[in-house]
Amino acid sequence: MHEGSNLVARTRPEPSHSTEDLGRLWGLVHDLGQGLGALSLLIDAIGDDPELSTEARRRLDLAEQELSRLIGIATLPAEEPVFETIDVREVLESLVSLTALSGRTTITLRPGVDVALCTDRTLLWRMVANLVDNAARAAGPDGTVEVAVGTGPDVTIEVIDDGPGFGGGPAGMASLGLGIVTELARCCGAHLRVCPAEHGGTHALLSFPRAGQLGNM
C-alpha cells in the first residue's frame, strides 16, 4: 500500500490572486490524500490479524481495493485519459460486490458474456460508481438495482433501478453525480442517456463506441 507521506507526487501550485480558489482546492485534495494514506495503514494493520474470518478478510480486501482507487484519484495528475483494453465484466463485478456491502439495497450484475473495452479504467469505475450510487439512493434500502454490460456496435453498460423515477427520489447528490458522469463520458468518447425504466424507476445507459469481445484482447 502507499505510504501516507508519499501520496501526492505533484507540488501544490503557489496561490495567487488568479489561482486562489485552485490553490485552496489543491490543499483539500492534498489533505484528502494524507487521510487516505492513514486509512491505508490501518487496513494493512487489520489485515495482519490471523484471527480474521474468511468473510471479514474478503470485505477487507474489497475495502482495500476501493481505498487504492481513491488514492489513485486523489493523486492523479490532470492529464488525458489513459486508454487500455480492460475486461468490463471484471470491473463491474468488483464494483457491484463493494457497493452491495455498503448498503441494504439489493445490487446485482446481470449474467452475460465477457466484454473487452479500450478505455480509461479509473474513469470507467468513477462513471459506473456514480450511476450505481444514484440508483441505490433512488431505490432505497428495500429496492433493487441491476447492472448489465453488453456488446454490439457499441459496448453498453446499463444501470436500472426500481425507484420512483428520475427526480422523484430523495434529495441528494444525484444531479452532481450525473454531471460528473457526463463530463467523464465525454473524456472517454462515450455517451450517457437517462430515461424512465420499462417497469418504473430509472434506466441509465452508457455507450462506448469501441466494442470488442474478450477473446479479441
Confidence label for 214 from pLDDT (cuts 50, 70 and 90)? very low
Confidence label for 17 from pLDDT (cuts 50, 70 and 90)? very low
Cα–Cα nearest to 204, from 152, 164, 166 = 166
Q: What is residue 144's predicted lDDT score, i.e. its pLDDT?
A: 96
Confidence label for 191 from pLDDT (cuts 50, 70 and 90)? very high
62-102 pLDDT, tens per residue? 777 777 777 666 666 555 788 999 999 999 998 998 888 77
Q: What is residue 210's predicted lDDT score, i.e. its pLDDT?
A: 64
The label of the residue with cell 467523464 reads 184
pLDDT at 173 > cutoff 60 = no
Amino acid, single-letter form, for residue 167: G
At a CB cut-off of 8 Å and minimum separation 6, what does 18 contact?
none
Query: Bridge partners of 162?
Result: none
CA 147 to chain centre: 13
Q: What is residue 27's predicted lDDT score, i.e. its pLDDT?
A: 65
Cα–Cα nearest to 122, from 75, 176, 174 = 75
pLDDT at 120 > cutoff 70 = yes
30-67 pLDDT, tens per residue? 667 666 766 776 777 787 888 888 888 888 887 777 77
158-172 pLDDT, tens per residue? 999 999 986 666 555
Query: Bridge partners of 87?
Result: 116
CA atoms within 13 A on the CB side of 90: 8
3-class secondary structure, 19: coil
In terms of phi and psi (left: phi > 0; alpha: psi -120 to 50; beta: otherwise), the region of 140 is: left
Mean of pLDDT values over 19-36: 66
pTM for the structure as a whole: 0.70
- 125: cell is 469505475
Identify whether the C-beta of residue 43 lies closer than 8 Å to the C-beta of residue 60: yes
Q: What is residue 160's predicted lDDT score, i.e. its pLDDT?
A: 97
